[in-house]
Amino acid sequence: MADRRNVAILIFDAMEVLDFAGPFEVFSVAGEVNDPSPFTIFTVAETAAPVKARGGLSVNPRYTIHDCPPPHILLIPGGWGTRALMNNTVVVGWVKAQAERVERL
């Protein structure tokens, strides 16, 4: 599908589970309603190592910020982990670069 949109969900330690899982499900369900799905949804993190969300849920990123397909939509969950993330110059630099390219942030 030519109009298929890449939806990247940035994941990081101490993120709120609902803040990434809820949107992931919403975009996924769009594929059940529309065939083919208008979205390709994936998680992305700074590294390929598992991320520990709030409450201890371990989440494996599909991509890193270094090999991620160009997103059309970039979703950044909230949570306590955003405090450390704001001081991570590598991730903040990547987000800034994506902000200039994406349709929605």
According to the model, what pLDDT value does residue 20 have?
Answer: 95
Q: In this structure, is residue 19 part of a structural domain?
A: no
Range of the domain at 50: 31-77+94-105
According to the model, what pLDDT value does residue 5 have?
Answer: 94
Average pLDDT per 10 consecutive residues for the chain, totaling 105 residues = 86 96 92 81 98 97 98 95 94 97 94
Structure token digits, residue 12: 């990081």
Secondary structure (3-state) at 87: coil
The whole model's pTM is what?
A: 0.92
CB contact at 8 A, 41 and 27 = yes
According to the model, what pLDDT value does residue 2 have?
Answer: 58
CA torsion angle for 92, 96, 102, 105 (degrees, to 10)?
60
Q: What's the domain count of the chain? A: 1
Q: In this structure, is residue 71 part of a structural domain?
A: yes
Q: In this structure, is residue 43 part of a structural domain?
A: yes
Terminal C-alpha separation, the chain: 22
Q: In this structure, is residue 65 part of a structural domain?
A: yes
Q: In this structure, is residue 82 part of a structural domain?
A: no
